[in-house]
Amino acid sequence: MAVNGRTPLIAGNWKMNLDHLQAVAFVQKLHWALKDAKHEDDSVEVAVFPPFTDLRTVQTLIDADKIPFAFGAQDLSTHDSGAYTGEISGAFLSKLQCGYVIIGHSERRQYHHETDEVVAAKVQAALRHGLVPVICVGETLEQREESGPTAVSVAQLEVALEGVPASADIVVAYEPVWAIGTGQVASPEQAQEVCAALRAVLADKLDADAAARTRILYGGSVKSSNVASFMREPDVDGALVGGASLVVDEFAAIIRYQKHVGV
Ligand code: PEP
């Protein structure tokens, strides 16, 4: 448990990597890599976000072997059912015992033209089905130069939280687009500046309890060598990890290292 009462969350976004057979091997190896006394405690929550086609397999494995990882999907439909070919309902994810769903990842915004309004509708869909939305926000380099470091993320979060109950369980991920998959990591101070601004949005939109318990993650080229520097920042409560979450030893080191520094 962190000093601020929020359990750090280390989340691995697999994107379109690892099929369901590879997922089994990965989850088992990660579990073994972390299987020491410390892993059984509650000092950090580990979550994996496999492709849709892996979810049933991952759920069965985690359930059968009592593996202490949470898991979730990388996206969901704004609709609950019906003639929406190729879409996945939050109801289905909920039945698979997904705890979380990533919403508004910059790759969805960029390649699938998801607007802030679509993101907001997906947040509503997640909450309707008892899923915790991991709401991704972040600016491009151009936007940072034009409107400063915080404006885009703050505006994206404000729209995403429209109509959300004040007591809602959510997670926010600050992912500067220029730092995703580029190796060009934000500095801890840059991450803190935006996460503090996002914390203020939470205080405005949610009730005091919900705002205080909501975790804000940093994402963008997180590795075992830099995770501790982010975790030391007061408004950073974890990491959303892409590339480095696909390498068992590296992801385990990210999880272990931040535990060892005792944040
Ligand atoms: C991501 O896609 O959410 C991400 C943070 O990727 P990476 O860690 O590879 O930059």
- Listed residue (194, 262, 252, 260) closest to 223, CA to CA: 252
In a domain, 13, yes or no: no
Active site residue 79: no
In a domain, 65, yes or no: yes
Mean pLDDT value across residues 35-51: 79
Ligand 1: which residue has its CA nearest to atom 1?
A: 242
Q: Does 177 contact ligand 1 (Cβ within 6 A)? A: no
In a domain, 10, yes or no: no
**Is pLDDT above 80 for 170?**
yes
Mean pLDDT value across residues 236-258: 94
**Is pLDDT above 50 for 262?**
no
In a domain, 5, yes or no: no
Alpha carbon distance 90, 94 (integer Å): 6
Active site residue 146: no
Mean pLDDT value across residues 203-228: 96
Tokens encoding 76: 């969901």
In a domain, 6, yes or no: no
DSSP percent split of the chain into helix, strand, coil, nearest 5: 45, 15, 40
Q: Annotated binding residues for substrate, as ranges?
A: 13-15, 181, 221, 242-243
Helix (H) or strand (E) holding 240: strand 238-241
Domain containing residue 28: CATH number: 3.20.20.70
Options 45, 107, 139, 175, the catalytic residue: 175
When pLDDT is cut at 50, 70 and 90, the band that residue 183 belongs to is confident
In a domain, 250, yes or no: yes
- Give the chain's domain count: 1
DSSP state of 9: E
Alpha carbon distance 98, 6 (integer Å): 21
Rounded distance from Cα 129 to ligand 1 centre (Å): 26
Options 45, 105, 114, 139, the catalytic residue: 105
In a domain, 112, yes or no: yes
How much is the pLDDT for 263? 38
Mean pLDDT value across residues 41-65: 94
In a domain, 12, yes or no: no
Q: Does 219 contact ligand 1 (Cβ within 6 A)? A: yes
Which segments within the chain are labelled E, that is strand?
9-13, 45-49, 69-73, 100-103, 132-137, 171-174, 215-219, 238-241
Alpha carbon distance 65, 32 (integer Å): 11
pLDDT digits (tens, 9 = 90+) for 104-159: 999 999 999 999 999 999 999 999 999 999 999 999 999 999 999 999 999 999 99
- Residues in CB range of 60: below 8 A, 6 or more apart: none
**Taking the model in full, what pTM does it have?**
0.95
Q: Which domain holds residue 46?
A: 19-261
